[in-house]
Amino acid sequence: MGSPDSPPWPPTLWATEYEREPPPSFRAKFDRPAIPLTGEGILLVPPTGSSVADLPNDAAIRHRTYMTITWAQEALRASKRYYRLAYVVNWTDWAIDKGEDWSPTERELRDQLAVWWVGGQQAVEAYFHFQKWRKTITGEVVSDPVRRLRNSLAHLDEAWLADYSAHTVVDPVGKPVKARDIRELPEGQLPLAFHPGCIEALFGVIPLRDVYREASAHSTWPNEDPDWSDYEFDPSDDDPEL
């Protein structure tokens, strides 16, 4: 995998996903052959009774590389989406305080917060899986902040929930018994609220710049030039009054 320069920061706020949609007339074709994850060649099914050890080693390397790149690209997309969602929540909160006839409603803010939260958890999960697959290529382990935040979100249903934060559950002598990773987060809790620190860091914990820097270095196939056109930033987008 190459090491291209990181994309410009912040990303374009309102850019859409560059996906080519099928025409409305298209109907699913269920007679198509299986497609390898790399999108190249034909899928060779191992003979019946063969084991993983029988597969050629270059296949394992190819799939590890593919998965690392796939999750790196998803981490970039998800973190960009998170940034946009956080930016919208920040603007909506500010605009409600203005009390103008054009101001959003409290219900709009509530709905946006829900979408922001889910988008944040998806971004954390993508970043976590990127780091897991990167380990198979480079040997770098999943960083403690990423692992702790991911596990805290995954076990949030087991945590002790207060009005604005989630906490590790401890027994009568103070030993952690559930949602243990939460106590390892900054301030020993997971905020259940949006604050300005959440705009440029996943839930205020992992800087989005770090996600971009690491994922962009593993997001292209060897000898393939990166295309950051979707990440160009217009400074006017930084004005919440627009």
Each residue's pLDDT tens digit, 111-145: 999 999 999 999 999 999 999 999 999 999 999 99
| Type of residue found at 225 | D
CATH of 57-238, one of 1.20.950, 1.10.3470, 1.20.1050, 1.10.10: 1.20.1050
pLDDT of residue 113: 95
142-189 pLDDT per residue, tens: 999 999 999 999 999 999 999 999 999 998 888 888 999 999 998 899
User: What Rg do the C-alpha atoms of the chain give, in angstroms?
Assistant: 21
**Using N-to-C axis directions, what is the helix angle for 106-138 and 144-154, rounded to 10°?**
130
Q: Using CB atoms within 10 A of its CB, is residue 178 exposed (0-12), middle (13-18) or buried (19+)?
A: middle
Decide if pLDDT at 52 tops 60: no
> What's the pTM?
0.78
CA distance 10 to 48: 50
CA distance 107 to 224: 45
pLDDT of residue 84: 92
Q: Which residues does 175 contact at the CB level (< 8 Å), separation at least 6?
A: none
Q: Which residue has the higher pLDDT, 176 or 205?
A: 205
CB-based contact 38:222 (threshold 8 Å) = no
CA distance 147 to 144: 5
pLDDT of residue 232: 44
pLDDT of residue 59: 77
pLDDT of residue 58: 75
Decide if pLDDT at 231 tops 70: no
Q: Where are the domains of the chain?
A: 57-238
The tokens of 46 are what? 């191992």
Decide if pLDDT at 19 tops 70: no
